[in-house]
Each structure stands twice: as C-alpha cells, then as structure tokens.
C-alpha cells in the first residue's frame, strides 16, 4: 500500500508541476507507460486524473479519463479477470460515458464506448452475454453511422471484431478494415502523434490482426510504422516476423 501511494505521489507531482496542458502532459506520460508495456499503471493514472478534475474540470480531461479507464479495464480482464476492481471501474466507466453523452461535443463520439461498455459487461457477466454482445455490435455500427469520421468509432468496432474473430476462429478481415480506417482518420486529422497512446494501440491491433490472418509481411509494415513513431517500443522487435 505504501509503495502504491509513493508511486501515485510521484505521478501527481510530475503531472501537476508540468507547465504544459494537462491532457497533453498526461497523454505523453501514458504513451511512455504504454510502450513500456505497463498498462497496469493506467489504474494509477485514473486516480491522478480524478485529482486534476477536482482541481480544474475540463470535458477533454474527462474524455481522457474515460479512455484510460477503458484500457485499464481491458488490462484487468486479460491479466486478472477475478479482480474486484473490474466491477468498480466498469461502474465508473459507465458514469463517465453517461456524463460525456450529455455534452454536445462528445454526444456522438461516445456511442462507440457505449459499445465497449456492453462488451465488457458481457465479458464480466457471461450469463448476460446473450443480451450485451448483440447490443455491443449494434452500438458499434450505430457509432459508425452517427460519426463515420471519428477514429474512435472505427477503432472500437475493430476491437470488437478482433475479439469476435478470436472467439469463433474466423478471419480478421473486418478487424483489419476497421483498424486501417481508424489509423487513417487519426493521421488525416493530425492526431497521430507519438503521445497518442490510443493511436499506438490502434496500430498495434492492426498489426496483430494481420498477424492472426497470417499476413506477416503486412504485420511487419505496421510494426515498422510503430517503431518509426516510437523507437523506444522495444517489444515490437520481439513481435516482428523473420520473412
């Protein structure tokens, strides 16, 4: 507990004392954590953002917290599926979604994450999957129709299709199309910076989709693209294929 508090204090100091804009600062730090494969620390950053929101609220920072919590839930479901923290973060994830849905700027953008919430609920409560999984796909398609120019709409749909392809052992073509579209939108909207950890995650799962489709040369191209953006992403060197 003391170690966790110490780390949290360090994070707070490094973020709060920075002179740059808060969401940008946090995203750069999160990108560093992401490429170091330490998504377990995203939970600490949720707490950091909680503190910053209490000091000075902004819609952008709330949107950032929602995305950070999203990745942290994914981490818990994958690495610690029995964690009692999943239910808490899911509840707070839904609360952020509900709040953002009332803000005009995010009202359509947030539909994609409503789809994610439904998918996570299905994963945590299998008895309800018969309701939540179809709802997740329905919301993902609604998100694309409502805001087709949003990279988040396409990336979240890609996440859903990727997991579905893994589950039923089918090809990853639809996931590839969705992630490719998301990456293109990030890039053409000047959102593809080295600090955009969500964009890096989109590229990673595009590469993994090619890989799982046995399109190893295409996967390597995306891995090289990630390394061009973040040369410090050391794990990429292990994942690249010898052709």
pLDDT digits (tens, 9 = 90+) for 157-173: 999 999 999 988 889 99
Does the CA dihedral 235-240-241-242 come out positive or negative? negative
Do 147 and 154 meet the contact criterion of CB atoms below 8 Å apart?
no
Q: Name the token pair of 189.
A: 């909207």
Do 198 and 67 meet the contact criterion of CB atoms below 8 Å apart?
yes
Query: Would you state the pLDDT for residue 25?
Result: 84
User: Is the pTM higher than 0.85?
Assistant: yes
∠ Cα 47 50 52 (to 5°) = 115
In the chain, which stretches have pLDDT less than 70?
A: 1-24
Query: Would you state the pLDDT for residue 22?
Result: 55
The Cα 215–Cα 117 span in angstroms is: 30
Q: Name the token pair of 242.
A: 């010898």
Do 191 and 203 meet the contact criterion of CB atoms below 8 Å apart?
no
Give the tens place of pLDDT for each residue, 18-68.
333 455 688 999 999 999 999 999 999 999 999 999 999 999 999 999 999
Q: Name the token pair of 221.
A: 């191209």
Distance of CA 103 to the CA centre of its chain: 21
∠ Cα 154 143 206 (to 5°) = 15
The Cα 141–Cα 72 span in angstroms is: 24
């Amino acid at each position: 507990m003391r170690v966790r508090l110490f780390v949290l204090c360090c994070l707070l100091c490094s973020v709060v004392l920075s002179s740059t804009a808060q969401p940008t600062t946090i995203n750069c730090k999160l990108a560093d954590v992401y490429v170091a494969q330490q998504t377990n620390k995203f939970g600490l950053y949720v707490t950091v953002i909680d503190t910053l929101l209490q000091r000075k609220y902004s819609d952008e920072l709330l949107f950032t917290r929602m995305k950070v919590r999203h990745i942290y839930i994914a981490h818990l479901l994958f690495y610690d599926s029995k964690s009692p923290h999943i239910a808490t973060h899911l509840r707070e994830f839904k609360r952020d979604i509900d709040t953002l849905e009332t803000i005009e700027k995010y009202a359509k953008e947030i539909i994609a994450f409503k789809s994610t919430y439904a998918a996570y609920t299905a994963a945590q409560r299998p008895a309800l999957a018969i309701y939540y999984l179809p709802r997740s796909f329905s919301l993902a398609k609604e998100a694309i129709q409502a805001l087709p120019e949003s990279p988040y709409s396409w990336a979240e749909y890609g996440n859903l299709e990727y997991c579905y392809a893994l589950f039923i052992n089918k090809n990853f073509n639809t996931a590839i199309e969705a992630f490719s579209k998301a990456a293109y939108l990030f890039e053409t909207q000047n959102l593809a910076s080295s600090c955009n950890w969500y964009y890096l995650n989109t590229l990673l799962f595009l590469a993994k989709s090619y890989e799982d489709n046995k399109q190893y040369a295409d996967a390597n191209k995306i891995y090289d693209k990630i390394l061009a953006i973040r040369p410090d992403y050391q794990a990429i060197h292990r994942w690249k294929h010898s052709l």
